[in-house]
Structure 1
């Protein structure tokens, strides 16, 4: 009871942010509830300092609530939809995620940045934005400022991609379906992909979302591999906890993907589950947004911004090359 009393103020604050974000999304469907939640959190924390008594609940939302939301996100993925993309496009998705992370890590090393910061930015930009940043952070345990910086960069560069990708598809003469494939394979957040796909047309939107969800599925193996790497490369400190081989939320995410693919859930349950999942992730995104302080971003200097820009261009280039080959 005492623990719940400590968590309650922050949990209620994040729940309020989630409700407001969902209401904005209902009023303006083109604005994703998750992106709105992040932006609301950023605005609140930079205008009104959050009292310390809210911090335990905010931290719980940013970690435990987020993991529950990611587990439920698995119910939105159906392996059959991904298989219908074809072996070539599935290979492109794997190459984009793997190549994006490795290229980003190499660039970050050249810039002299911390390994944990590079991993967060590489994962967020290559897989699925803020959720990937938080998921990978569960096994690398980065500093709060590094997490906040990675999330801010995901929002910044992913949002800039929304108008840029349609302009470039026209410039490159890509057809409707290749345009959607490129958007899904290159843009950071699911919501940003939806916004871009909508601008490209209904057919492009459909394939863009499937490709993006296939990238989301890559979160599970990436977290497992990063956790294994951290276990092997990190210093052994007596009494210190080490990253789990397979985090519980990753196992739950994969289990939900299998459940969705088996079509064992009644169809009428899916909208309810999606609403709950959106609310949980929105609360978590609001909590993560509360950690993004403009003053702290100014102090980090230009290197993270250069890494974000370089990774965005690198991932987009890999995706465009792959889509061109398979189309």
Structure 2
């Protein structure tokens, strides 16, 4: 049995696909381990640089230096880390959160998310085609990515609008660029926002593009901000399903060239898994030492996902996107930054007065 397993691992097929998987996993793991080690250094800890932030920065440095030369031989493992490990990390993140904390976000958080998704997408499909000359399909893809959950929303929206591959690539590039900017900008702005850590987390979760970027922006402040940011973001991610249903219905009724017939609905299962783990954690059935160990494993998984995301973030993405889609994505980013802050403050004040 052992010899047979060894023969399979050493076969040409294993040396190809499996070797790419393990090499990529090792590369992401090595970068993550370096980020985890650097985060423990007193000076870097004093600067507020978390392991996740350092992992994605190191990944970006590698991604724009030596990684292109070994991309083909490591692609399977890097992409697995960027997608599957990220989703697993998000699910296990539920062990840091309870339903009591979710209740603190509550109806106000859901109202904020719904307002941001609707307003950002409406702005994208209005501003892009009418004022910036961006075609409607690209505008919808960029709008979905900016409004909900970055590249994942772009990929989920693509079969609904039936956009060609190059438009999907442009949309993904723009949301990655501005989501990365937000990830570093928000923690720097935190002292000037007039928000406590919980409110900042809600603001970050309701306005930053990717789930991974929200995690980094929240952790850069503290655990309270990180918890509320992830909860708010997951509520926003779960709006993806009704958004796709409504978009498909609207396109079917429209008379434009874009049709959406017979398209499957993408369900964000990892978001449901996150909520399930939160519920389990709320019951406090596991010993505290077990939960602490799971949280450590989760941090390592998320660091690997951050490293892989950094490896796939290339400077060429800006050139690939072109100026007009970038201008649209920039306008949406500024609206998320400023309009999102206004929506968060207004809803919070309304709830204080009403309740």
Where on the TM-score scale, by shorter chain, does this alignment land: which range? Answer: 0.7 to 0.9
Alignment deviations for residues 8-40 of structure 1 (CA, whole Å, 9 cap, x no partner):
111111111111121122223321222222222
Which residue of the other structure, out of 303, 307, 311, is the alignment partner of 1:290?
A: 311
Structure 2 residues without counterparts, runs of 5 or longer = 1-8, 159-164, 209-213, 252-258
* 2:60 paired with 1:42: yes
Unpaired stretches in structure 1, ≥5 consecutive residues: 124-131, 170-177, 199-204
Match of 2:349?
Answer: 324
Q: In the alignment, does 2:33 pair up with 1:19?
A: yes
TM-score, normalised by the number of residues in structure 2: 0.73
Which of these two proteins has the greater Rg computed from alpha carbons? 2
- Aligned counterpart, 2:229: 212
Find the counterpart in structure 2 of residue 128 from structure 1.
Answer: none
1:273 CA displacement: 0.9
* Cα distance between partner residues in 2 of 1:148 and 1:25: 28
C-alpha distance after superposition, 1:124-174 (max 9, x if no partner): xxxxxxxx43553563468345334323312212422323332242xxxxx
CA distance in 2, matches of 1:59, 1:230: 29
8 Å CA contact retained: 1:157, 1:309: no
Tell me, yes or no, if the aligned pair for 1:100 and 1:315 is still in contact at 8 Å: yes
- Return the alpha-carbon distance in structure 2 between the equivalents of residues 63 and 242 of structure 1: 20
In the superposition, relative to structure 1, how do residues 76 and 220 fare at CA in structure 2: closer, same or farther (>3 Å)? farther
2:185 matches 1:160: yes
Cα distance in 2, alignment partners of residues 288 and 190 from structure 1: 13
CA distance in 2, matches of 1:65, 1:262: 25
Cα RMSD of the aligned pairs, angstroms, is 2.7
The match for 1:201 is none
Distance 1:14 1:251 in 2: 26
Q: 1:7 aligns with which of 21, 30, 33?
A: 21
Q: Is the 1:140–1:227 Cα contact (8 Å) retained in structure 2?
A: yes
- Taking CA–CA contacts closer than 8 Å with sequence separation of 6 or more, which of the two structures ends up with the larger relative contact order? 1
Structure 1 position 229, deviation (Å): 4.9
Structure-1 residue corresponding to 2:161: none
Q: Does 1:96 align with 2:112?
A: yes
Cα distance in 2 for partners of 1:220, 1:65 equals 17
Question: Is residue 242 of structure 2 the alignment partner of residue 225 of structure 1?
Answer: yes
| 1:63 corresponds to | 83
